[in-house]
Amino acid sequence: MSRVIGATLFALVAFAANSVLCRMALRQGHIDPASFMSIRLVTGALTMWVLVRASTWGKAAGGTWYSALTMLVYAVPFTFAYVGLTAGAGALLLFGAAQVVMIAAGFAGGERIDGTIALGWLLAVAGLVLLLLPGLTAPPLREALFMLIAGMAWGAYSLQGRRSTDALGDTAGNFVRSVPGTLLVSAALWTHRSADPKGVILAALSGSVGSGLGYAAWYTAVPRLGSIAAANAQLSVPVIAALAGVVLLGEPVTWRLVVASVLVLGGTALAVRRRLTLPATRTASKP
């Protein structure tokens, strides 16, 4: 259980880091979206390939073309959406859409849910509403639609993790397969390219740590968490991103942030811990 919890925590922090890194790079004009996306995915592919080759098992990269496609469909609109969205609003739209996809799949697959898991979910949602809605203006429609598409694709990608028996190898294979697609997008937008050293470094960090290692940790956790608890866990990412903004970007600490953090992180912990104590059902364990 400790391995699953550790992998989950690392993955959630990595997801929040991706939002913050993307915000820092794009909204401050250090790099164009297509270049950020390509550097992110190529760096992630290189990082995971090196780790797979260096592993003591010597396994080849796994993954599937379907998972690589959902990764690419997530990465493209995710990056372009952050041109006009704040980190908090983007994370809310992203993981809200992902949660709908994953919870629907969990119910369809017969996963168990009880009052404790439902209470954890309600607490987490209440925290998000408290944190984001009162001071949130309507996001730009185009960027909001981009992020909703990214969220649905991320939900589909996460669901593939239920079948993974080699998180490192599958993540490496998915990244490698996504590279041709991201390079095609960059080639199509070549005349709009722009990047400075800071933008390249931020994109590389997002690819190697926030994406590569984060996705591998997520594929380690999802098979044990199940679709519903994994969806609940991701509700903490907007709060983690907001807290990172306080530390890294000097954003103010407010009572709303403190209370929302307690509700979201506490509710998430409650739901995930309860899910880990429930016996897996025969239906939910099927590929």
- pLDDT at residue 48, as a whole number: 86
pLDDT in tens, 11-57: 999 988 998 899 889 877 899 999 999 999 999 999 888 888 776 55
N residues, the chain: 287
Give a yes or no: residue 285 inside a domain. no
Three-state SS at 31: strand
Give a yes or no: residue 246 inside a domain. yes
pLDDT in tens, 173-222: 899 999 999 999 999 988 888 889 999 999 999 999 988 888 888 888 88
Residue 281 has pLDDT above 80, yes or no: no
Spatial CA neighbour of 227 closest among 135, 77, 101, 133: 101
Cα–Cα distance for residue pair 224/144, rounded to 1 Å = 31
Whole-prediction pTM:
0.77
Residue 279 has pLDDT above 60, yes or no: no
Sorted by sequence, the CB contacts under 8 Å of residue 1 that are 6+ apart come out as 276
Cα–Cα distance for residue pair 25/28, rounded to 1 Å = 6
Task: Report the number of distinct structural domains present in the chain.
Answer: 1
Give a yes or no: residue 251 inside a domain. yes
Cα–Cα distance for residue pair 59/136, rounded to 1 Å = 47
Sorted by sequence, the CB contacts under 8 Å of residue 175 that are 6+ apart come out as 41, 44, 45, 48, 49, 63, 68, 71, 211, 212, 215
Give a yes or no: residue 284 inside a domain. no
What is the DSSP secondary-structure string of 45-103? HHHHHHHHHHSTT-PPP---HHHHHHHHHHHHHHHHHTTTS-HHHHHHHHHHHHHHHHH
Q: 185 lies in which domain range?
A: 2-277
Q: DSSP code of 161?
A: G
CA atoms lying within 13 Å on the CB side of residue 277: 9
Give a yes or no: residue 265 inside a domain. yes
Torsion region of 86: left, alpha or beta (phi above 0 gives left; psi -120 to 50 gives alpha): beta
Give a yes or no: residue 55 inside a domain. yes
Q: Which of 84-93, 103-112, 171-180, 212-221 has the highest mean predicted lDDT (pLDDT)?
A: 171-180
pLDDT in tens, 124-175: 778 767 766 655 555 677 888 898 899 899 989 988 877 777 878 888 889 9
Residue 261 token pair: 């953090």
Give a yes or no: residue 282 inside a domain. no
3-state helix, strand, coil in the chain (%, to 5): 80, 0, 20
Cα–Cα distance for residue pair 31/28, rounded to 1 Å = 8
Torsion region of 110: left, alpha or beta (phi above 0 gives left; psi -120 to 50 gives alpha): left
What is the DSSP secondary-structure string of 110-157? T----HHHHHHHHHHHHHHHHHHSTT-PPPPHHHHHHHHHHHHHHHHH
Cα–Cα distance for residue pair 254/257, rounded to 1 Å = 5
Rg of the chain in Å (alpha carbons): 18
